[in-house]
């Protein structure tokens, strides 16, 4: 089980990690500034295994891979949104952070709720309710299963 | 059945008769662009992947633009890391102070019609202006391309945007793309290709088309394409004869019987000057609705609107006049070439006389690191592509995106103004 941190529509990559932090020497040093303009306490409150839940078009804007990377560095288990912007989505798969399309979850959970994702079942459980997620295409699931693009290319 | 423009480019690239939206295919990459913010990360990932050479070093272009000239020690560290990577792997195409990456990629001839190109920046979609398929990717994926020369992509569905007629004199291509973004919304074209057709676009300069392709990522699009024409050929250094005799180049247009997911149709005469209001790119309102709001700063520049025609449009408005005394106006040409052309044409002198600050070519204020950042409750009218919260300073800065003409009139009066 992990706690929900819930965000709205069109959360852009500048809001996930602002450009003034992108030149910090490591992702670990950027991570305390995650979601700073939306929820200044996010980085302090999130725990490994927690979930980011969002509405439509999560991760729109720039190509910065630091956006999914800071979430992964903070231990976020998965991002569950109604839809994702395309570069953010590819970046998640490539770094091994599950980005899962779940159309119904956002409307039925609040920040602080406890949920559980089953990747193998393709479902999320929140209280007594279970919600179906959209399965990844096999090619992408393969990259994710191996832990991201680096592990996947090294395997090839 | 016929094909859309993006389907033709992808099919040609992989040597197939046709492709279908939704298919996942692996393309052969014609060109890649890496910029200064991400080069250290690309370099690290490339070596973590165990590659020892770039698949084709001449196909990589390394451009320093976001951090030029260095204003913090971290910036200089990125240049050092980039230089070391280029030296180690034989990358010769390195631009250290020539301008913004997206301006240079077509201006310096790295991307041609029908090419497939990727860059570590979301505005890589800009090269759709010459009929190339180009889009942004992350740095891990870029490292993968540098090692393999290939990338998987999903063949996108296409949305056709058709505009016919003559735009009003105070309307620019910036107003057209902003209005389209407002209608499609910020996620209205996610994963999809936009294809621009019609007499209005035929009449546009390549520079104006560039403004439109550049902003297609703001509605989530994978690319925003114009079929190449004689103007494109001239801009890309292809002779009229070669262009006419090249069957592939001639084929680069959507077929009449191609399957479009959706068609948006506009009359050019219906467009008015518009602005993207704080803090979403799709929060579009006619400039007349917000006119009168006092501004602290005006920014004319960026890969969206830092070209010669943009500077010239502002100079025409400001010639012999002075901007409002309480306004700071920053003008940042998109490239060294544009800077020199504007200098020779007297445009920079006109703008400086009117009270503008002229800066070196580069990303400047658009990426919010230097060159005019603002503080709480300040208002800026800017010609770039994003007005996200915190983009140009604190999260309480009010950013309005507009055309160069609207920006110049606003600088003149000190209040958001409809260009006359």
Q: What's the rounded mean pLDDT across residues B86-91?
A: 98
> Domain check: are B201 and B337 in the same one?
no
Q: How far is CA A100 from the centre of its chain?
A: 8
Residue B353 sits in which domain range?
A: 274-413
Residues of chain A with pLDDT under 50: none
β-strand pairing of A51-54 with A2-7: parallel
Alpha-carbon distance B49 to nearest alpha carbon in chain A (angstroms) = 5
Alpha-carbon distance B391 to nearest alpha carbon in chain A (angstroms) = 7
Q: What is the pLDDT of residue B299?
A: 98
Per-residue pLDDT tens over the stretch B193-218:
999 999 999 999 999 999 999 999 99
Contact B20, B10 (CB under 8 A): no
Flag whether B419 is in a domain.
no
Exposure string of B185-215, with b = 16+ CB inside 10 Å and e = fewer, is bbbbbbbbbbbbbbebbeebebbbbbbbbbb
What CATH number has the domain bearing residue A49?
A: 3.20.19.10
**Contact state of A14 with B220 under an 8 Å Cβ cutoff:** no
Residues 6+ apart with CB under 8 A from B392: B299, B365, B368, B372, B373, B374, B380, B382, B399
Say if residue B161's pLDDT is above 90: yes
Contact status of A129 with chain B (Cβ, < 8 Å): no
How many structural domains compose chain B?
2
> Domain check: are B104 and B39 in the same one?
yes
SS3 content of chain B, % helix, strand, coil (to 5): 40, 20, 40
Nearest 5°: phi and psi at B310?
Answer: -70, -45
The pTM (predicted TM-score) of the whole model is: 0.95
Contact B1, B259 (CB under 8 A): yes
Flag whether B3 is in a domain.
no
> Domain check: are B157 and B13 in the same one?
yes
Chain A CB contacts of B147 below 8 Å: 153
> Domain check: are B282 and B369 in the same one?
yes
**Contact state of B220 with A10 under an 8 Å Cβ cutoff:** no
Say if residue B181's pLDDT is above 80: yes
Per-residue pLDDT tens over the stretch B275-316:
999 999 999 999 999 999 999 999 999 999 999 999 999 999
**Contact state of A19 with B45 under an 8 Å Cβ cutoff:** no
Helix H or strand E segment including B143: helix B139-148
What CATH number has the domain bearing residue B127?
A: 3.30.499.10
First-to-last C-alpha distance (Å) of chain B: 47
As a residue count, chain B comes to 420
**A14, A24, A87 ranked by CB distance to B389: nearest:** A14
**B74, B140, B390 ranked by CB distance to A94: nearest:** B140
CB neighbours of residue B292 within 10 Å: 10
- CA gap B123, A89 in Å, rounded: 16
Q: What's the rounded mean pLDDT across residues B321-342?
A: 98
> Domain check: are B289 and B180 in the same one?
no
How many structural domains compose chain A?
1
> Domain check: are B311 and B194 in the same one?
no
- Which is more confidently placed, B53 or A145? B53
> Domain check: are B172 and B213 in the same one?
yes
First-to-last C-alpha distance (Å) of chain A: 34
In terms of CA atoms, which chain A residue is nearest residue B186?
A10
C-alpha radius of gyration, chain B, whole number: 21
Contact status of B70 with chain A (Cβ, < 8 Å): no
> Domain check: are B252 and B282 in the same one?
no
> Domain check: are B285 and B254 in the same one?
no
Task: Please name the residues between 352 and 371 in chain B that touch chain A, using a CB distance below 8 Å.
Answer: 367-369
> Domain check: are B246 and B133 in the same one?
yes
**A23, A60, A90 ranked by CB distance to B186: nearest:** A60
> Domain check: are B334 and B298 in the same one?
yes
Q: Select the residue from B38, B122, B145, B396 to test the A interface by mutation, using most A Cβ atoms within 10 A.
A: B122
**A15, A86, A149 ranked by CB distance to B220: nearest:** A86
Q: What is the pLDDT of residue A156?
A: 59
Exposure string of A64-81, with b = 16+ CB inside 10 Å and e = fewer, is bbbbbbbbbbbebbbbbb
Contact status of B407 with chain A (Cβ, < 8 Å): no
Residue A117 sits in which domain range?
A: 2-155
Domain closes at, from B267, B289, B315:
B267
Contact status of B136 with chain A (Cβ, < 8 Å): yes
Per-residue pLDDT tens over the stretch B104-144:
999 999 999 999 999 999 999 999 999 999 999 999 999 99
- The three-class DSSP label of residue B166 is coil
Residues 6+ apart with CB under 8 A from A136: A93, A100, A144
- CA gap A54, A71 in Å, rounded: 14
Domain closes at, from B267, B291, B312:
B267
Q: Minimum mean pLDDT among B79-93, B125-139, B361-375: which range?
A: B361-375
| ipTM value > 0.95 | no
Contact status of A39 with chain B (Cβ, < 8 Å): no
Q: What's the rounded mean pLDDT across residues B13-36?
A: 96
Q: What is the pLDDT of residue A7?
A: 98
């Amino acid at each position: 089980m992990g706690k929900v941190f819930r965000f709205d529509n069109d959360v852009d990559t500048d809001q996930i990690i602002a450009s003034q932090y992108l030149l910090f020497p490591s992702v670990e040093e950027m991570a305390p500034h995650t979601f700073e303009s939306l929820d200044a306490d996010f980085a302090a409150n999130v725990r490994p295994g927690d979930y980011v839940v969002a509405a439509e078009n999560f991760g729109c804007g720039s190509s910065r891979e630091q956006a999914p990377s800071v979430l992964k560095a903070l231990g976020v288990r998965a991002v569950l949104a109604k839809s994702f912007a395309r570069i953010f989505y590819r970046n998640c798969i490539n770094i091994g952070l599950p980005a899962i399309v779940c159309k119904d979850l956002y409307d039925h959970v609040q920040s602080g709720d406890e949920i559980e994702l089953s990747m193998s079942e393709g479902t999320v459980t929140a209280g007594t309710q279970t919600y179906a997620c959209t399965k990844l295409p096999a090619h992408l699931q393969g990259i994710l299963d191996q832990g991201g693009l680096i592990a996947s290319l090294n395997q090839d | 059945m016929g094909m859309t423009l993006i389907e033709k480019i992808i099919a040609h690239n992989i040597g197939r008769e046709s492709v279908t939206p939704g298919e996942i295919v692996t393309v052969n990459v014609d060109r890649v662009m890496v910029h200064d913010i991400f080069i250290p990360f690309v370099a690290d990932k490339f070596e973590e992947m165990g590659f020892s050479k770039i698949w084709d070093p001449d196909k990589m272009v390394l451009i320093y633009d976001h951090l030029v000239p260095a204003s913090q020690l971290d910036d200089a560290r990125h240049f050092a890391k980039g230089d070391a990577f280029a030296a180690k792997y034989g990358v010769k195409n390195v631009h250290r102070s020539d301008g913004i990456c997206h301006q240079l990629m077509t201006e310096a001839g790295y991307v041609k019609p029908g090419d497939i190109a990727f860059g570590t920046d979301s505005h890589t979609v800009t090269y759709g202006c010459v009929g190339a398929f180009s889009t942004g990717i992350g740095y891990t994926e870029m490292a993968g391309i540098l090692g393999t020369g290939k990338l998987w992509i999903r063949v996108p569905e296409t949305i056709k945007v058709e505009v016919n007629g003559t735009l009003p004199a105070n309307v620019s291509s910036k107003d057209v793309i902003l209005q389209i973004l407002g209608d499609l919304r910020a996620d209205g074209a996610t994963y999809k290709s936009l294809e621009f057709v019609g007499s209005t676009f035929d009449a546009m300069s390549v520079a104006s088309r560039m403004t439109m392709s550049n902003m297609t990522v703001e509605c989530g699009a994978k690319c925003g394409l114009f079929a190449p024409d004689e103007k494109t050929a001239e801009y890309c250094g292809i002779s009229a004869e070669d262009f006419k005799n090249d069957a592939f180049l001639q084929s680069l247009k959507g077929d009449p019987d191609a399957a479009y997911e959706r068609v948006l149709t506009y009359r050019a005469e219906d467009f008015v000057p518009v602005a993207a209001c704080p803090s979403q790119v799709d929060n579009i309102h006619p400039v007349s609705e917000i006119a009168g709001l006092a501004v602290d700063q005006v920014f004319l520049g960026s890969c969206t609107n830092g070209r010669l025609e943009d500077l010239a449009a502002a100079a025409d408005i400001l010639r012999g006049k002075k901007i409002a005394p309480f306004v700071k106006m920053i003008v940042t040409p998109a490239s060294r070439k544009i800077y020199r052309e504007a200098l020779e044409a007297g445009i920079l002198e006109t703008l400086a006389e009117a009270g503008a600050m002229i800066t070196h070519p580069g990303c400047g204020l658009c990426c919010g690191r230097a060159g005019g950042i603002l503080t709480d409750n300040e208002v800026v009218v800017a010609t770039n592509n994003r007005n996200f919260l915190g983009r140009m300073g604190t999260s309480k800065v009010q950013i309005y995106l507009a055309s160069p003409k609207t920006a110049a009139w606003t600088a003149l009066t000190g209040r958001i103004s409809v260009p006359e």
